[in-house]
């Protein structure tokens, strides 16, 4: 077997091993935040969650209630608030009329605010895993993606 054949074989194995997992995951497709202001402001207290995690209506709600942001005052200047909301809305999960699978079972009248309460999230992070994570002082809370997914802020979640 030549080296090239080995490389091809390895590529096939990797493809087969990785593809079905990705296809099975109904979660959102996530990349890296490309807006510097959004990355900086939203990562002051927690990892800056990528806009593709939530639909437009959720981001609008979050960005209009910053003085009481999950119990914390996260208020911004109006100029920064507007810029960040624009970026989040433009890159939200349902941007440009998209209808990703993970949003389909949620009625339009409902405004989901917590990524950790989505069905895909609780499915991929089962009860035992969630209970274990909550007991680890280095993780502390499920909101801390990077507690386990070291590259989460760059959009790498497939390291589990």
Partner 1 sequence: MKILFIALSGLIVAQPTAANPARDAILKSFASEAGVSSFSAAAGKEFFQGTHQGGKPESPSCTSCHTKNLRNQGRTRVGKVIEPMAVSANPNRFTDPEKVAKWFRRNCNTVLGRECSAAEKGNILTYLMSQ
Q: Considering beta carbons, is residue 97 or 137 the nearer one to partner 1?
A: 137
Q: Where are the alpha helices (DSSP H) in the chain?
A: 3-24, 36-42, 56-63, 78-90, 101-104, 119-124, 127-135
Among 37, 56, 76, 106, binds partner 1 (CB under 8 A): 76
Q: State the nearest-atom distance from the C-beta of 147 to partner 1, in Å.
A: 7
Helix axes 78-90, 56-63, angle to 10 degrees: 170
> With respect to partner 1, which residue has the nearer C-beta, 103 or 142?
142
CA distance 119 to 83: 30
Stretch that binds partner 1, among 1-9, 11-19, 65-73, 103-111 (CB under 8 A): 65-73
The answer to whether 125 contacts partner 1 (rule: CB under 8 A) is no
Give the Cα separation of 75 and 5 in Å (integer): 57
Minimum distance of partner 1 from residue 145's CB (angstroms): 10
CB of 51 to partner 1, least distance (A): 18
Q: How far is the CB of 115 from partner 1 (least distance, A)?
A: 12
CA dist list (Å): 138 to 108, 132, 146: 36, 12, 10
Mark residue 49 as left, alpha or beta (left: phi above 0; alpha: psi -120 to 50; beta: remaining).
beta
151 binds partner 1 (CB under 8 A): no
The tokens for 147 are 């507690």
Residue 109 CB, nearest approach to partner 1 (Å): 28
Query: Is the CB of 48 or the CB of 89 nearer to partner 1?
Result: 48
Sites of contact with partner 1 (CB under 8 A)? 43-47, 67, 71-77, 138-141, 143-144, 147
């Amino acid at each position: 077997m030549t080296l090239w054949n080995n490389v091809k074989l390895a590529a096939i194995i990797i493809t087969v091993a990785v593809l079905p997992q990705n296809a099975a995951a109904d979660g959102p497709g996530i990349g890296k935040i490309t807006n510097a202001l959004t990355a900086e402001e939203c990562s002051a207290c927690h990892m800056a969650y990528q806009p593709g995690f939530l639909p437009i209506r959720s981001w609008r709600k979050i960005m209009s209630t910053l003085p009481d942001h999950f119990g914390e005052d996260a208020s911004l200047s109006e100029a920064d608030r507007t810029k960040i909301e624009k970026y989040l809305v433009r890159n939200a999960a349902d941007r440009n009329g998209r209808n990703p699978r993970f949003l389909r079972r949620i009625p339009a009248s409902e405004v989901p605010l917590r990524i950790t309460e989505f069905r895909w999230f609780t499915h991929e992070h089962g009860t035992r895993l969630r209970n274990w994570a909550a007991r680890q002082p280095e993780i502390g809370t499920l909101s801390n993606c990077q507690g386990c997914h070291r590259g989460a802020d760059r959009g790498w979640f497939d390291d589990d």
